[in-house]
């Protein structure tokens, strides 16, 4: 076995700001309310749209009685399948960047109803209140057809997930004879692990404000999204617009978690109405309607795993069965993580889908991995008890330094350090191994742990840097910030690259007039856009050096770019820092009013072929369970993360805190109740779709294990958005077993499952 050792961190210079816990420059705007979101732009003479949703899950519209509504003073139009013009959209060729296989849903295309809460009409009125009232009295008649929304009853209709969807990896190829090894092993467990649909619930609901500019078809589109360029491409193709005619802006996003990766139907409806009426229009969705925009799919997993008397794995079988819609084949990478985390001589994996009468599921924080890690980490915990080996020791015994699924070395892997540092901080060595053996008064105390693994991937990204004669630097990229801290870490990267103080740097994002950037998702923004920002600033630096060398008696004459450093507003020689020139003096001497440069970045195809690249974490959880009532309290969590170079420990910690809270939420609370008779989610609101409040969350300790990986990305970053959530739900369930002796394999872990 061999372990790839990451390049050690470079020596910190006085002007280094990357790696420091610097506050967000956008923070004051957010807390003061001056940050403007998609539904808050004050566009003159604005009309408002309200979406009418289907009450049935399957069937077709037979009649829409529009006359009484159109007679209301101030109602401008009702759009439905009866009057929507023919669009490029309807040839089924145009998809967004993250669309799965199949045909994307096309709002108001025809009379067919494909899922409950499907938009069936859009009412445009002079005020939001009037549009909402008009929607309440619009009469739509339906012919109801028999529907199926029950995954459990659809096992006989399972089919292999289609290959080819971006981001989906087919299950690993089998190794050895898993069935024989399982049958012969002295210690074995088999279990079915389930969670039902879970819904994104960002604070900001989806909305689009379209400003009609009155110049041909020119529009300015303010949209709630995780990627303005993706929305622009989607809108431009559907409506036959140029990029100049469809400018998309998204400066602030009030949470997305994957729900904003795909353009949602309100942006299509708002643009449609604006173009048809030649007027500015805003369409906002309600909280209830947010439950019709994709979800983490209901998934059933079956795991068979075995070990020898020493605790070494002998076999691993991991199968998953998930839902998709009737019109798209939504796929997730669910079972692969088991094979990446653990070495075993015998393994086999499978992943299947069933088509239901629901809207297409969607990527939701750590898609696939959050589902898969709950199952495998619960199963590994069960097997450790069966083999009478401490759960942490069991994982250490089966640790792998290479990716068994691809037979590649990891670009870096510090999971073993996550185990050791997390266990030491948590006090794992004080754990009493027997279930129900630890108490605090009437509370049963349980300690559990679990692991996580997520891809460290890069995407193509671009940025533009402009250094002005007054010494200020502006960097633009069309990337997004849904709350992860993009504004601050890109400002840090730009400031450090050119050795400027933070207050002299401004980073702008979320506008399709800026250089293109990928969707904010997959934990790839920091490394992808960060590398592009660095490259753009370095190109400015190269131009600066050339100008500095033209100055009279330049102390930098003859030096290559690699032989100088940009520190504290100076360009100085590496070998003799007394040889320096102030950046502001270079600009003044040159007579240039500004220096501009573009930068691009993308994945290294050679590294992709040679290495397996992932971030890792280990979660340690303490729960206290009331012995009489069965109520569960997560009282303490330690989450140790190895995610490459941490650009800003403050914002990165916030990401891991948020992921940890979501893992607790997934374990104990989140579940959409699907009434299969109605084919509808019944708890589509904040009152009944339970998520944590302050009283549910106690001490969370975040550890960043030192790791820098120049193979995974040229700036050593892997990303933290996804990894902080992984393993947490399983660690909670494992802690509950340790506390109570009751193993629960279905999430959420509610009181009734302990009684």
The contacts of residue 679 (CB under 8 Å, 6+ apart) are: 56, 57, 58, 115, 116, 147, 149, 357, 358
Joined together, the tokens standing for residue 717 give 């970053």
Q: Is the pLDDT of residue 89 over 90?
A: no
Going by C-alpha positions, the residue among 379, 352, 404, 1 that lies closest to residue 176 is: 404
Q: Is residue 326 part of a domain?
A: no
Evaluate if residue 337 carries a pLDDT over 80.
Answer: yes
CATH of the domain at 584: 3.30.365.10
- Model confidence at 91: pLDDT above 60: no
User: What is the per-residue pLDDT across 402-452, written as a single tens digit (0 to 9) for each?
Assistant: 999 999 999 999 999 999 999 999 999 999 999 999 999 999 999 999 999
Residue 185 in domain = no
Question: Which band of pLDDT confidence, cut at 50, 70 and 90, is reported for residue 123?
Answer: very high
Instruction: Verify whether residue 332 is a known catalytic residue.
Output: no
CA nearest to 431, candidates 380, 396, 376, 392: 392
Q: Is residue 361 part of a domain?
A: no
Lowest mean pLDDT among 151-165, 204-218, 720-734: 151-165
User: What is the band of 165 on the pLDDT scale with cuts at 50, 70, 90?
Assistant: low
What's 381's DSSP letter? H
> Mean pLDDT in the chain?
95
Q: Residue 728: is its pLDDT beyond 80?
A: yes
pLDDT 10s digits, 276-322:
999 999 999 999 999 999 999 999 999 999 999 999 999 999 999 99
pLDDT at residue 216 in the model: 81
pLDDT attached to residue 6: 36
d(CA 345, CA 316) in angstroms, rounded, equals 9
Q: Mind listing the pLDDT tens digit for each residue in 467-496?
A: 999 999 999 999 999 999 999 999 999 999
Outline where DSSP puts E strands in 568-670. 570-573, 580-582, 594-601, 614-626, 632-642
Q: Which structural domain range is residue 562 located in?
A: 27-35+458-602
Which residue's entry shows tokens 């502001």? 584
CB-CB contact of 470 with 441 (8 Å)? no
Count the domains in the chain.
1
Positive or negative CA dihedral for 14, 16, 17, 21?
negative
Determine, yes or no, domain membership for 348: no
Q: Is 699 exposed, middle or buried (0-12, 13-18, 19+ CB in 10 A)?
A: exposed
Please indicate, yes or no, if residue 362 is contained in any of the structural domains.
no
State the pLDDT at residue 101. Answer: 87
Q: Does any domain span residue 297?
A: no
Per-residue pLDDT reduced to its tens digit, 622-642: 999 999 999 999 999 999 999
Summarize the confidence of residues 224-252 as an average pLDDT. 96
C-alpha distance from residue 284 to each of 47, 123, 270, 364, 688 (Å): 12, 12, 9, 21, 22
Which band of pLDDT confidence, cut at 50, 70 and 90, is reported for residue 12? very low
Whether the per-residue pLDDT at 11 is higher than 50: the answer is no
Give the residues across from 562 on adjacent strands: none
Q: Which residue, among 55, 117, 573, 619, has the nearest Cα to 366 in the 3D structure? A: 619
Q: Which of 332, 402, 670, 722 is catalytic?
A: 722
pLDDT at 5: 34
Q: Using the predicted structure, report yes or no on whether residue 13 has a pLDDT greater than 60.
A: no
- With cut-offs at 50, 70 and 90, classify the pLDDT of residue 87: confident
Residue 181 lies in a domain: no
Q: Is the pTM of this model over 0.75?
A: yes
Q: Which pLDDT does position 4 carry in this prediction? A: 36
CB-based contact 511:478 (threshold 8 Å) = yes
91 within some domain: no
pLDDT digits (tens, 9 = 90+) for 518-546: 999 999 999 999 999 999 999 999 999 99
**Taking 50 as the threshold, does the pLDDT of residue 92 lie above it?**
yes
Work out the percent of the chain whose per-residue pLDDT is above 90: 93
Contacts of residue 464, defined as CB under 8 A and 6 or more positions apart, other chains included, come to 475, 476, 477, 514, 515, 536, 596, 597, 598, 599
């Amino acid at each position: 076995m061999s372990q790839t050792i990451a390049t050690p961190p470079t020596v910190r210079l006085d002007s280094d700001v990357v790696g420091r816990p610097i506050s967000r420059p956008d923070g004051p705007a957010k807390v003061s309310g001056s940050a403007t979101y998609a539904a808050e732009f004050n566009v003159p003479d604005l009309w408002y749209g309200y979406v009418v949703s289907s009450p049935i899950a399957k069937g077709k519209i037979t009649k829409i009685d529009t006359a009484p509504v159109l007679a209301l003073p101030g109602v401008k139009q009702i759009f439905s399948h009866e009057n929507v013009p023919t669009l490029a959209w309807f040839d089924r060729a145009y998809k967004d960047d993250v669309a799965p296989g199949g045909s994307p849903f096309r709002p108001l295309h025809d009379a067919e109803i494909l899922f409950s809460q499907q938009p069936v009409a859009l009412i445009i009125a002079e005020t939001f209140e009037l549009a909402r009232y008009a929607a309440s009295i619009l009469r739509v008649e339906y012919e109801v057809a028999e529907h199926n929304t029950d995954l459990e009853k659809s096992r006989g209709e399972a089919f292999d997930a289609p290959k080819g969807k971006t981001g989906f990896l087919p299950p690993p190829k089998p190794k050895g004879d898993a069935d024989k090894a399982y049958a012969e092993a002295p210690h074995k467990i088999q279990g079915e692990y389930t969670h039902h649909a879970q819904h994104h619930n960002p604070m900001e609901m989806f909305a689009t404000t379209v400003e009609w500019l009155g110049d041909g078809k020119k529009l300015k589109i303010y949209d709630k999204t995780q990627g303005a360029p993706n929305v622009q491409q989607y809108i431009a193709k559907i409506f036959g617009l140029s990029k100049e005619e469809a400018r998309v802006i998204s400066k602030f996003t009030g949470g997305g978690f994957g729900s904003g990766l795909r353009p949602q139907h309100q942006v299509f409806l708002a643009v449609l109405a604006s173009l048809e009426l030649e007027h500015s229009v805003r369409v906002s969705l309600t909280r209830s309607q947010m439950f019709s925009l994709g979800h983490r799919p209901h998934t059933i997993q079956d795991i068979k795993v075995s070990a020898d008397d020493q605790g070494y794995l002998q076999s691993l079988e991991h199968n998953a069965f998930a839902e998709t819609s009737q019109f798209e084949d939504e796929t997730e990478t669910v079972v692969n993580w088991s094979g990446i985390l653990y070495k075993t001589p015998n393994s086999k994996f499978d992943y299947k889908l069933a088509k239901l009468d629901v809207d297409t599921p969607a990527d939701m924080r750590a898609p696939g991995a959050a589902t898969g890690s709950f199952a495998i980490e619960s199963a590994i915990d069960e097997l450790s008890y069966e083999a009478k080996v401490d759960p942490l020791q069991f994982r250490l015994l089966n640790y792998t330094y290479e990716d068994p699924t691809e037979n590649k070395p990891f670009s870096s892997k510090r999971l073993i350090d996550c185990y050791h540092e997390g266990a030491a901080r948590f006090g794992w060595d004080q754990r009493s191994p027997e279930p129900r053996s630890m108490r605090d008064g009437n509370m049963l105390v349980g300690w559990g742990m679990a692991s996580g693994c997520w891809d460290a991937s890069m995407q193509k990204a671009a940025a533009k840097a402009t250094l002005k004669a007054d010494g200020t630097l502006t960097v633009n990229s069309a990337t997004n910030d849904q709350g992860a801290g993009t504004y601050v870490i890109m400002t840090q990267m730009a400031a450090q690259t050119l050795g400027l103080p933070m207050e002299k740097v401004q980073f702008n994002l979320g506008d399709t007039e800026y250089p293109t950037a990928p969707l904010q998702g997959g934990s790839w923004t920091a490394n992808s856009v960060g590398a592009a920002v660095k490259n753009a600033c370095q190109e400015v630096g190269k131009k600066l050096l050339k100008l500095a060398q033209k100055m009279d008696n330049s102390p930098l004459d003859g030096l290559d770019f690699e032989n100088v450093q940009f520190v504290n507003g100076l360009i100085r020689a590496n070998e003799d820092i007394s040889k320096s020139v102030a950046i502001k003096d270079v600009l003044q001497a040159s007579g240039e009013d500004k220096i501009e440069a573009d930068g691009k970045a993308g994945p290294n195809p050679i590294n992709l072929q040679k290495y397996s690249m992932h971030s890792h974490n280990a979660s340690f959880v303490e729960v206290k369970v009331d012995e009489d009532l069965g109520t569960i309290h997560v009282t303490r969590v330690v989450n140790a993360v190895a995610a490459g170079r941490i650009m800003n420990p403050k914002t990165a910690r916030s990401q891991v805190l948020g992921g940890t809270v979501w893992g607790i939420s997934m374990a104990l609370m989140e579940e959409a109740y699907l009434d299969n008779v109605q084919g509808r989610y019944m708890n589509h609101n904040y009152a009944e779709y339970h998520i944590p409040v302050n009283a549910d969350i106690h001490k969370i300790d975040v550890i960043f294990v030192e790791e820098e990986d120049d193979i995974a990305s040229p700036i050593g970053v892997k990303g933290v958005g996804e990894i902080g959530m992984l393993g947490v739900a399983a660690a909670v369930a494992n802690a509950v077993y340790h506390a109570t002796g009751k193993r629960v394999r279905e999430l959420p872990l509610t009181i009734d499952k302990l009684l």
